[in-house]
């Protein structure tokens, strides 16, 4: 069993009304025996390490985006529809056909300066986030010379012909769109709303009428402290427009900060950021000592910066329309929001954590009883997964959601490898792997690679698979102090986001291109569980033909099938949820039933289901036994 870099949270995270914090359990820092440690550097010839995951294919970035000029040409997020995947880029987007995952076909490359370029797909419409001072209405790369040329907001494209996307409309917003999230109208299927997270200040009113900066979150005329809401009539996307704002920040105080965290950051040098090899070696011993001391010492009472305010926007929000919920990763807070009425969302709860530098993204469990938030410590451009980087920062935390829709924070998780000072690394975007009976997610960690974890037990998340490459750049030569971002030094790379889709994991590699990976059967993830995941349906639709936007999380269901039943059986074997002899008997009965057909199979399954119903009373894992019994009966009823 792998040593998980997860830490149970006792009480350090802070509720909105919390008055203080307590000590964490002792931390365990990475050892030197992880296969990801010390991989060879290189752009296209870097060393690779993988466990329970394999690389199916790699495709280089298109020539139009093959540049490492700062962040201008890095790849960003992914959106899915059938065999089509749109890969965003700070300078446009690429359209891929993944009918053959072993050899993706590049259908189109659309240059268009957008800054981040996060994509979403609804039907034949593609939405692209645009934020920054250099974005032009005409998508040109010559820069903005006057206000009339400037565009920030959401671009809408028609991709009915994915080989030739057509710009339909630029929907301008006051703060631009760093990210966006699609929320369907709960009544009108021909309307969607787009929640826009923009991190800039408001544009001048002379550039876009109605834009106003301000400091009062309750001021309706203030363009800050709100998520812009765009209404899109799907049959007439040219009529899309901003129709309001989600004011979900009113009443939030500044989030507390921890004196112990600040001291620990200082002792590690520049928040665990880029340091030369000599400086790392010199500081390793003292950093380890500091970490050990910090683990045994209660943190000082959280301090509130009197010059700060509560959040005025979110970095990213994840909607779960089927559950009428939204998880807002809003810089200094994680929010839970009711979106039953998308035009009038209501904040249900908020959580701050002195160890979270930037609440960044979120992933719900399928039953919406949990949510995993990520912390983008260092903004995604810094190496925050080094051996001495703070364990509590730059990773995930799992929060449970009670029946009355309140958060309780549980544990942290961080990848258990020691990345180098040349590798920007922090937890980033991901989504669920749809295994019945378990909460599993896969995500990108920039140059920390692609990682899959199980967070079924919110107090003990653990790693089950990974794929990683060595750094894009080699370490600096002795005496070389050049730390500029270039092909030779400090290239920003790695997995922006990784998502399970139709049996494969797709990862957007910032500097290199586009990866297709596959999870492999192991003692942590069985063949049956992987087979069941391939049967999953999103919001009742077959994802082989329907769209998937990770920030608009679909509800996953499974058809009645033997792999679904056997997934629960494998889980019961793994955790000893029933006596071994009983598990073997159930396996034998399932095998016999599978050999039959029609009424004979149905009768055999109903009989087995009745026996398993009785097993639940004495099982150590009653919920999973009951779930397996229900699936047995469901398959029996579906068998004709």
Q: Tell me how many degrees the CA angle 518-458-304 measures, rounded to the nearest 5.
A: 115
- The enclosing H or E element of 534 equals helix 527-534
Which whole-number Å values give the CA distances from 452 to 54, 399, 567, in the listed order? 12, 18, 18
pLDDT of res. 391: 83
Give the Cα separation of 325 and 84 in Å (integer): 28
Give the Cα separation of 424 and 444 in Å (integer): 12
Average pLDDT, the chain: 87
3-class secondary structure per residue, 256-270: CECHHHHHHHHHHCH
Give the Cα separation of 260 and 270 in Å (integer): 15
Secondary structure E strands in 370-528 = 370-375, 396-401, 407-413, 429-433, 440-444, 450-454, 462-469, 495-501, 504-509, 513-519
CA-nearest of 381, 506, 489 to 450 is 506
CA-nearest of 444, 510, 429, 496 to 70 is 510
Give the Cα separation of 569 and 557 in Å (integer): 18
How is the chain split into domains, by residue range? 6-14+39-255+300-473+490-548, 560-638
CATH number of 6-14+39-255+300-473+490-548: 2.130.10.10
Give the Cα separation of 337 and 229 in Å (integer): 15
Secondary structure E strands in 491-633 = 495-501, 504-509, 513-519, 537-538, 547-548, 556-557
Question: Which residues of the chain register pLDDT less than 70?
Answer: 1-31, 68-71, 258-309, 479-489
Name the residue with tokens 């494998």: 570
Return the sign of the alpha-carbon dihedral for residues 610, 616, 618, 624.
positive
Contacts of 190 (CB under 8 A, 6+ apart): 233, 234, 235
pLDDT of res. 436: 98
pLDDT of res. 99: 97
Return the sign of the alpha-carbon dihedral for residues 269, 274, 279, 281.
positive
Helix, strand, coil distribution of the chain in percent, nearest 5: 20, 30, 50
3-class secondary structure per residue, 141-181: CCCCCCHHHECCEEEEEECCCCCCCEEEEEEECCCCCCEEE
pLDDT of res. 252: 92
| Total-model pTM | 0.90
């Amino acid at each position: 069993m792998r040593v998980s870099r997860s830490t149970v949270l006792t009480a350090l995270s802070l509720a909105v009304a919390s008055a203080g914090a307590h000590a964490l359990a002792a931390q365990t820092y990475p050892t030197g025996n992880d296969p990801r440690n010390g991989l060879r550097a290189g752009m296209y010839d870097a060393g690779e390490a993988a466990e329970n995951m394999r690389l199916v294919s790699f495709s280089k970035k298109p020539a139009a985006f093959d540049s490492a000029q700062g962040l201008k040409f890095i790849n960003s997020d992914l959106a899915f529809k059938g065999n089509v995947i749109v890969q965003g880029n700070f300078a446009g987007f690429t359209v891929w056909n993944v009918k053959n995952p072993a050899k993706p076909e590049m259908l189109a490359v659309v240059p268009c300066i957008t800054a981040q370029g996060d994509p979403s797909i609804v039907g034949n419409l593609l939405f692209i986030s645009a934020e920054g001072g250099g974005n032009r209405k005409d998508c040109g790369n010559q820069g903005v010379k006057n206000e009339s040329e400037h565009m920030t907001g959401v671009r809408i494209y028609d991709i009915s012909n994915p080989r030739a996307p057509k710009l339909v409309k630029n929907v301008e917003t006051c703060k631009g769109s760093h990210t966006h999230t699609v929320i369907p109208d709960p009544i009108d299927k021909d309307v969607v709303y787009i929640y826009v997270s923009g991190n800039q200040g408001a544009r001048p009113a002379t550039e876009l009428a109605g834009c106003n900066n301000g400091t009062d979150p309750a001021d309706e005329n203030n363009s800050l402290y709100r998520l812009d809401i765009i209404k899109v009539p799907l049959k007439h996307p040219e009529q899309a427009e901003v129709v309001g704002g989600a004011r979900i920040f009113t009443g939030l105080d500044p989030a507390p900060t921890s004196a112990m965290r600040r001291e620990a950051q200082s002792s590690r040098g520049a928040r665990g950021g880029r340091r030369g090899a000599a400086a790392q070696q010199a500081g390793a011993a003292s950093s380890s000592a500091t970490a050990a001391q910090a683990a045994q010492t209660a943190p000082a009472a959280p301090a509130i910066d009197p010059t700060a305010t509560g959040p005025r926007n979110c970095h990213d929000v994840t909607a779960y329309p089927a559950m009428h919920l939204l998880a807002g990763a809003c810089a200094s807070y994680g929010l839970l929001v009711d979106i039953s009425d998308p035009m009038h969302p209501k904040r249900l709860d908020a959580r701050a954590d002195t160890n979270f530098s930037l609440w960044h993204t979120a992933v719900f469990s399928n039953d919406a009883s949990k949510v995993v938030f990520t912390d983008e410590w260092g903004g995604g451009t810094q190496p925050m997964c080094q051996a001495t980087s703070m364990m509590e920062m730059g990773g995930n935390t799992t929060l449970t959601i009670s029946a009355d829709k309140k958060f309780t924070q549980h544990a942290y998780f961080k990848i258990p490898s020691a990345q180098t000072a040349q590798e920007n690394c922090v937890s980033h975007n991901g989504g669920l792997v749809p295994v019945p009976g378990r909460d599993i997610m896969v995500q990108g960690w920039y140059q920390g690679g692609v990682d899959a974890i199980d967070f079924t037990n919110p107090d003990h998340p653990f790693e089950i698979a990974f794929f990683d490459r060595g750094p894009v750049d080699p370490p600096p030569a002795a005496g070389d102090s050049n730390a500029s971002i270039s092909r030779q030094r400090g290239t920003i790379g790695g997995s922006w986001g990784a998502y399970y889709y139709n049996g494969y994991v797709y990862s957007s590699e910032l500097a290199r291109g586009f990866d297709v990976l596959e999870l492999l059967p192991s003692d942590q993830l069985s063949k049956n569980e992987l087979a069941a995941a391939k049967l999953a349906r999103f919001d009742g639709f077959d994802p082989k033909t329907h769209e998937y936007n990770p920030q608009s999380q679909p509800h996953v269901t499974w058809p009645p099938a033997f792999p679904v039943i056997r997934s629960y059986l494998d889980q019961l074997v793994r955790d000893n949820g029933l006596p071994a002899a009983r598990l073997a008997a159930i396996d034998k009965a399932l095998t016999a039933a599978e050999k039959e057909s029609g009424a004979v199979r149905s009768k055999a399954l109903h009989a087995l289901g009745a026996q398993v119903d009785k097993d639940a009373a004495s099982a150590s894992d009653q919920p999973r036994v009951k779930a397996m019994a229900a699936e047995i009966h469901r398959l029996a009823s579906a068998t004709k």
